[in-house]
Amino acid sequence: MDGENKKEKILIVDDSEFMRGIIKQTLINAGYINIIECCGGKEAILACKKKNPDLVILDLVMPEMTGVEALEKIGKDFSVVVISAVGQKKAIEEAIRLNAKGYLVKPFEEQELINLLDKLLNLTERVQKI
């Protein structure tokens, strides 16, 4: 961590508490401290409406409502990065078609995630200033 805390609000959506913990610790180590966690798609949609996150990290394979179904609802209004064990080209193309800004396959390199988030959040910040 470079010693600077980052103000951006990030929503982590994964049905695995273990995976949410890994992602959360990766974010904290990189200075992201404003973190919200959800364990499913329906909860994520509500959290997006109530908390207005700057970025959503979304798993695809979840019970009740899949990440694809959640992405259909939030992809146009929020920056979404998909992190999933599903690495097939068709799944990646579908996520991108639904406005995902990035896609990482589990297991992922921590630095790869941070680089992607920093890039996307920096881009969002610059667009908002215009």
pLDDT digits (tens, 9 = 90+) for 56-115: 999 999 988 999 999 999 999 999 999 999 888 999 999 999 999 999 999 999 999 999
Where does 6-129 sit in CATH, by number? 3.40.50.2300
Domain parsing of the chain, residue ranges: 6-129
Q: What is the Cβ-side half-sphere exposure of residue 37, based on CA atoms within 13 angstroms?
A: 15
Is 70 exceeded by the pLDDT of residue 1?
no
**Which is nearest to 71 in space by CA: 108, 105, 79, 50?**
79
According to DSSP H, which parts of 16-108 are helical?
17-29, 41-51, 67-74, 89-97
Distance CA 111, CA 115 (A): 6
| Tokens read off for 50 | 């109530």
pLDDT one-digit tens code per residue, 38-47: 999 999 999 9
